[in-house]
Structures are given as structure tokens and as C-alpha cells.
Amino acid sequence: MSSLFPALTDAPSGHPALRFGERRLTYAELASAAGAVGARVRGEARVAVWATPSLETAVAVVGALLAGVAAVPLNPKSGDKELGHILGDSAPGVVLAAPGDELPAALRELTRIDVEIDGGTNGGTDGDGRGAGAPVGAVVGAAAGAAVGDEDPALVVYTSGTTGPPKGAVIPRRAIATTLDALADAWQWTGADVLVHGLPLFHVHGLVLGILGPLRRGGSVRHLGRFGTEGVTRELSTGASMLFGVPTMYHRIAEALPDDPALAKALAGARLLVSGSAALPVHDHERIAAATGRRVIERYGMTETLMNTSVRADGEARAGTVGVPLPGVELRLVDEDGSAVAAYDGESVGEIQVRGPNLFTEYLNRPDATAAAFTPDGWFRTGDVAVRDPDGYVRIVGRKATDLIKSGGYKIGAGEIENALLEHPGVREAAVTGEPDADLGERIVAWVVPADPGSPPAEDELAGHVARRLAPHKRPRVVRYLDALPRNDMGKIMKRALPS
């Protein structure tokens, strides 16, 4: 497999690669800075990266990849216990960080390498914008380690650890390249695209898709540092063509649109609006489409699989679905006994299993967990449950462990009930769970944050609302009102943290 980032040596002089606020790097400058990092870490098995939303994080990861060294992105918000587990498990040789970053105690025993980027606002260019120093090809070549193969580790990304200590998913170079190339096919993504996002850089969405994706295409990234609708308006109005976000971000956009015509105009001019990491509620889809004439498309992936499906740029942006399998990805739905779901009818629920070159290699130091994650014939058990329409579109209805509710003989996905609740004008946020019921097996429980806390919609009103939109057996039997739903850094609702 060829270089992950051919544009580091092939891009035209002065072509922009990365911008974080007023700080920016051309491809030549990125090659120089990343090459210097690569030369310093060459020969290490793994390096930790203090993954702040900064130029230094992007340079550190690219430098490690140039050297054939696996990078372990660390969430700066992680506590000492979690960091201690990750460091003990992954045993990085060094930690890469921006010069001014103060590292927590858990990292202070590691050798630290500061990621140096010359200059202040532009990375330090010479007269032609290519940066001073050795030729780019020589710098990149000096960073390269021994021959690097497709199956060699590129990243070790730790899962959220909802069912125990985080597990390190070993992601090979092959998975990064094939996923990004499949997305280029689905999204018609080229080097002419300029991506704007404000996502964290310690996970697949923000780092692999949001930073490495544009760099593989030879395009540009403008990172907002901190998400805000003002930044989205500014960047999409000045040359950016794509926006990546999570549902929380798009919800804020939808809320702001009625009073912000400049934001509506900016979104209307974007080539592609993409949401991921959790389901985007249908009512936010519709509000954005009504105000801008543009539909947000969704895709579906996991740490262990990178990307599995997406709505295509040339396909129907069908709200509530994550599109069709990407090129090279096999996807099936299976019943609890492991047999294939009999029909793709938009109603029959099954667990998603996937197979393809996008998959991770293993959980680091966890052969038991790795073996349990795969079927004997090599399908990865995602733990997500979905239905599939006759034309192949996939609609995820929740997690098997928390969102598949068995009530009155039916298998019901929590996600579709949540979407129905969010269409009620009196509901700001909603989560749905199941709890034991002597008659039904499980009863459906709705957790609702009212739009007006002083006048929440009545329980029977919400139950009737869902029954009319979906089916009577999918109505909530209990409604519990909260001030806010517990969420993680990516905006996903943490159902295990709901009051018992």
C-alpha cells in the first residue's frame, strides 16, 4: 500500500494543509514538522499523544505514522485512573505534547518530546511558502522507519470502557487507508475540499476522519478549536466546503438557524454536511433542511471498525438512516441465535455484524476480548441493532445491551421511540430504556427533558403521540422527567448513568 499521505511530497507549493485559529501549515511545512517528529520517535513501538485540539496533535500523529510507529491518542479530560490504565496497557515509549502543555502526574514518568512548530501565525514559511530547510522528500524520508506493511499498527484507540476498563483497539494502516478511500468514493471527496470541524482529536471521528481524511486527499482542514455557530458561519462563508459534527452540534445549529440568516446562507452553500458518533434526531434533520435547503447526511462507524456505512453524496439523504455499506464492507443483520434476519423490510430488528478491510486487528493484550468480538467466520459483532430497508439503507435503533427492548413479544429499538418523542414540541431531550415488567417482560420507559420545565407534557399525551407515529406497542408505559440527560464528551447519552 502506498504512503498514507502522498500530498506531503506531491502537493503544490504553498498548498494549505491545516489551520487551527490563526495558526496554519502548508503541506510542505507539515511534512517538515511531522518529519522532525518522526525522526525522533523512529524505532519506538508506540508513542502516546496528548491529544489537545491543536496543530501539535495533528503533527504528532502524522509524524508517528511517517515513522511507522503506532500513536496512542490520550483524552486530555481523562482522569488519573483511566490514564494510568491506558499507559500501563499500551506501554508507550514517549509522550508527544505541545511545548506549553502541562501534563498530569500519570504522564510525568514518561519521556516527553515537545512537538515544535516554527513560527507563530503561519508555521514559519520562507518566501515561496514551502518552509525553510531540507527538501521535503528528504525530511519525510528521514522520518521513515523500516519497511512498513499494511497490517502494521497505525493507532491504538481506547474504547469508552462502559462495561469495564477501556480496551485498546489496534487499528492497522490498512484500515485507515481503505476507510478513507471508501469515504472518498461515497462523498466524492477530493483535494479541492476544505473541511471545517470542531471535534476532539482523541477518537476516530475527529482524528481519523477529520484530520487524516483531508490529508489523505490532499485537501485542507480548518479546525475551530471550540465549536460555535459563529465559527461555522465564518468558515463555510470563506471557502470551506464540508462540515463534520455530532448531533449536539447540529442541534445547536438547528436552534440558532431561525435567528441567524448568515448561518443559514453559509450552510446552504456547503457541499456536504455530515453527522456522526450518535444518531441525529429526525426533527433536527428537518429543521436544518427547512432553513437551508441542505440535508445532513449520516454515516455509521465504531472505533473497532472505522466506517461501515454512509449516505452517499449522490444518494438520497434519508433522515434517520446511516445509508448503505461502504465499498469493501460486508454487513448483515442477525437474530439472537446467530441466524440471518429473514427480511430487509424496515421492521425486522437484528444485530449488525460487519466484515472487511476496515476492521481493527485486535484488542491490545486482550486475546479473550478479541476472540469474543468475532464470529468463527470472521464477522465483527458490533453490538448495535438495526433494521434495513428493502433498498439496503440501514437504520440503527440502538445498542443491543441497552436499547433493544423486548416488550409483549416484540423486539423494539429505543432509537425510533426517542426520535418520535423529540418530534413533540414539549420535548427538548429524550432517552428510552426498558425495565422489568411482570406482564410485558419489559416495559418502555421514557426519560424526558421538557422544553418548558414549568409545564411538561403529560405522560398520556406523550404515550399517545408515540402510538400515533409508530405503533401502540411502542408507546412508553412510564415517563420520567429530568433537568438534563447524562452525556459523554461526544454528546452520546449515557443510559447507564440514568437514575435507578
Q: What is the mean pLDDT of residues 11-16?
A: 89
Going by C-beta distance under 8 Å and a sequence separation of 6 or more, which residues neighbour residue 205? 199, 244, 246, 276, 277, 301, 490
Predicted confidence (pLDDT) per residue in 330-343, tens digit? 999 999 888 889 78
pLDDT value at residue 270: 98
CATH number at residue 480: 3.30.300.30
CATH number at residue 47: 3.40.50.12780
Query: Of 325, 351, 384, which closes a domain?
Result: 384
User: What is the rounded CA–CA span in Å between residue 359 and residue 303?
Assistant: 9
Both 299 and 214 in one domain: the answer is: yes
Query: Of 358, 384, 410, which closes a domain?
Result: 384
**Residue 169 pLDDT exceeds 60:** yes
pLDDT value at residue 127: 34
Q: Is residue 360 part of a domain?
A: yes
Both 328 and 458 in one domain: the answer is: no
Give the number of domains in the chain: 2
pLDDT value at residue 134: 54
User: Shortest CA distance to 399 belongs to which of 370, 440, 431?
Assistant: 431
Q: What is the mean pLDDT of residues 132-150?
A: 64
pLDDT value at residue 129: 40
Both 355 and 408 in one domain: the answer is: no
Instruction: Indicate the residue type of 31.
Output: A
Q: Is residue 310 part of a domain?
A: yes
Q: How far is CA 359 from CA 151, 185, 274, 475, in A?
A: 11, 18, 22, 37
**Residue 413 pLDDT exceeds 90:** no
**Residue 474 pLDDT exceeds 80:** yes
Predicted confidence (pLDDT) per residue in 435-450, tens digit? 888 778 789 999 999 9
Are 313 and 298 in contact by the 8 Å Cβ rule? The answer is no
Q: Is residue 97 part of a domain?
A: yes
Where is 447: in which H helix or E strand?
Answer: strand 441-450
**Residue 78 pLDDT exceeds 70:** yes
| Sheet strands side by side (includes 350-355) | 330-334, 350-355, 380-388, 394-399
Both 246 and 371 in one domain: the answer is: yes
User: What is the rounded CA–CA span in Å between residue 447 and residue 432?
Assistant: 6
pLDDT value at residue 404: 74
User: What is the rounded CA–CA span in Å between residue 436 and residue 465?
Assistant: 23
Both 367 and 453 in one domain: the answer is: no
Both 374 and 423 in one domain: the answer is: no
Q: What is the mean pLDDT of residues 19-35?
A: 95
**Residue 122 pLDDT exceeds 60:** no
Q: How far is CA 66 from CA 14, 30, 213, 395, in A?
A: 21, 12, 15, 38
pLDDT band of residue 490 (cuts 50, 70, 90) is low
**Residue 123 pLDDT exceeds 50:** no
Q: What is the mean pLDDT of residues 408-435?
A: 85
User: What is the rounded CA–CA span in Å between residue 225 and residue 52?
Assistant: 9
Query: Of 384, 411, 431, which closes a domain?
Result: 384
**Residue 141 pLDDT exceeds 90:** no
User: Shortest CA distance to 267 belongs to which of 299, 297, 289, 298?
Assistant: 289
Both 75 and 206 in one domain: the answer is: yes
pLDDT value at residue 131: 42
**Residue 406 pLDDT exceeds 90:** no
Task: Return the percentage of the chain with pLDDT > 90, whole number.
Answer: 70
Q: Is residue 165 part of a domain?
A: yes
Q: Is residue 391 part of a domain?
A: no
Both 371 and 485 in one domain: the answer is: no
User: What is the rounded CA–CA span in Å between residue 403 and residue 432?
Assistant: 8
Both 370 and 413 in one domain: the answer is: no
Predicted confidence (pLDDT) per residue in 372-389, tens digit? 999 999 999 999 999 999
**Residue 139 pLDDT exceeds 80:** no
Q: Is residue 432 part of a domain?
A: yes
pLDDT value at residue 245: 95
Instruction: Read off the C-alpha cell for 359.
Output: 476492521
pLDDT band of residue 321 (cuts 50, 70, 90) is very high
Place of cell 496533535: 57
Read off φ and ψ for residue 207, nearest 5 degrees. Answer: -90, -55
Instruction: Read off the C-alpha cell for 324.
Output: 448503505
Q: Mean pLDDT for the chain? A: 90
**Residue 143 pLDDT exceeds 70:** no
Q: What is the mean pLDDT of residues 201-207?
A: 95
pLDDT value at residue 229: 97
Both 229 and 347 in one domain: the answer is: yes
Other Cβ atoms less than 10 A from the Cβ of 100: the count is: 9
pLDDT value at residue 469: 83
Q: What is the mean pLDDT of residues 142-166?
A: 80
Q: Is residue 111 part of a domain?
A: yes
**Residue 125 pLDDT exceeds 50:** no
Category of 157 on φ-ψ map: left (φ > 0), alpha (ψ -120 to 50) or beta: beta
In terms of residues, how long is the chain? 500
Both 166 and 129 in one domain: the answer is: yes
Q: What is the mean pLDDT of residues 109-122?
A: 80
User: What is the rounded CA–CA span in Å between residue 451 and residue 62?
Assistant: 44
Going by C-beta distance under 8 Å and a sequence separation of 6 or more, which residues neighbour residue 414? 397, 398, 402, 403, 404, 405, 431, 432, 433, 434
User: Shortest CA distance to 248 belongs to which of 467, 19, 493?
Assistant: 493
pLDDT value at residue 95: 98
Other Cβ atoms less than 10 A from the Cβ of 201: the count is: 24
Instruction: Give helix 282-292 / helix 247-256 axis angle, nearest 10°.
Output: 50
Are 386 and 401 in contact by the 8 Å Cβ rule? The answer is no
* Structural domain that includes position 74: 7-384
**Residue 357 pLDDT exceeds 50:** yes
Q: Is residue 15 part of a domain?
A: yes
Q: What is the mean pLDDT of residues 469-494?
A: 86
Both 377 and 476 in one domain: the answer is: no
Q: What is the mean pLDDT of residues 279-290?
A: 90
